[in-house]
Amino acid sequence: MGLLDITEKELQALPALQQANVKALLNIRQALFDILGAFPQDNVIPYFYSCQQVGAANTIGQPNGLLGANSTANNSIRISADSAFIAMSIRGTSDGDYSAFMRQDASDRQLMNIPVNSNALVGTAERPGPLHKPLLMPANTTISVDFADLSGQNNNIWFTLAGFKVYNRKLG
């Protein structure tokens, strides 16, 4: 019997907090099965979360405005309240090189130790920049991204986390 093999009777016998934790682990386990192609269920769907630093006619503005030459900007991606998100890759496009620094706001967990050049981090739709270990983000998580232009010119940036939304399954 595996660690998460539990009968409905055993689950109901647990205290409420432990029941919630076991159900959350079972949801994550099932999501990973879905992503990897085993035991397909309906609680996982492909999804994209994006932010952008773009402007019309080379206008510079905050938030979400064009990233000016040699300037910096902060943007964010908010994971919706209806589901967790498993990021598998980073995709995007821009007018020039930039660096990005990502962190989770609630925990201030840094997802990199220094800003990373976009050429080393961001892939395209055809060749995504893989996250070598999927990044699990709970519902209502906010990811902040600090952008810094490296091109010396005004820069439009589109930045996307590609992965899977994981909805809670009704257990018991």
In a domain, 70, yes or no: yes
* Residue 42: per-residue pLDDT: 67
Residue 94 near residue 158, CB atoms below 8 Å: yes
Q: What three-state secondary structure class fits 137?
A: strand
CA angle 158, 77, 156 (to 5 degrees): 20
| Cα-based distances in Å from 102 to 3, 29, 34, 47 | 33, 26, 27, 19
Average pLDDT over residues 43-64: 74
Number of domains in the chain: 1
Tell me which residue range forms the domain holding 99: 44-166
- Identity (one letter) of the amino acid at 57? A
- Say if residues 126 and 165 touch (Cβ distance below 8 Å): no
Judge whether 37 lies within some domain: no
- Distance separating the N- and C-terminal Cα atoms of the chain: 20
Task: Write down the pTM of the prediction.
Answer: 0.73
Number of neighbours of residue 155 by Cβ within 10 angstroms? 26
Q: What is the mean pLDDT of the chain?
A: 84
Among 19-23, 37-41, 82-86, the minimum mean pLDDT is found in 37-41
Q: How far is CA 139 from CA 31, 90, 101, 134, 155, in A?
A: 14, 19, 21, 16, 31
d(CA 161, CA 169): 23
pLDDT at 41 over 70: no
CATH of residue 102's domain is 2.60.120.230
Confidence of residue 91 (pLDDT cuts 50, 70, 90): very high
Q: What is the mean pLDDT of residues 129-135?
A: 90
How confident is residue 38, by pLDDT bands cut at 50, 70 and 90? low
Flag whether 66 is in a domain. Answer: yes
Q: Determine, yes or no, domain membership for 23.
A: no
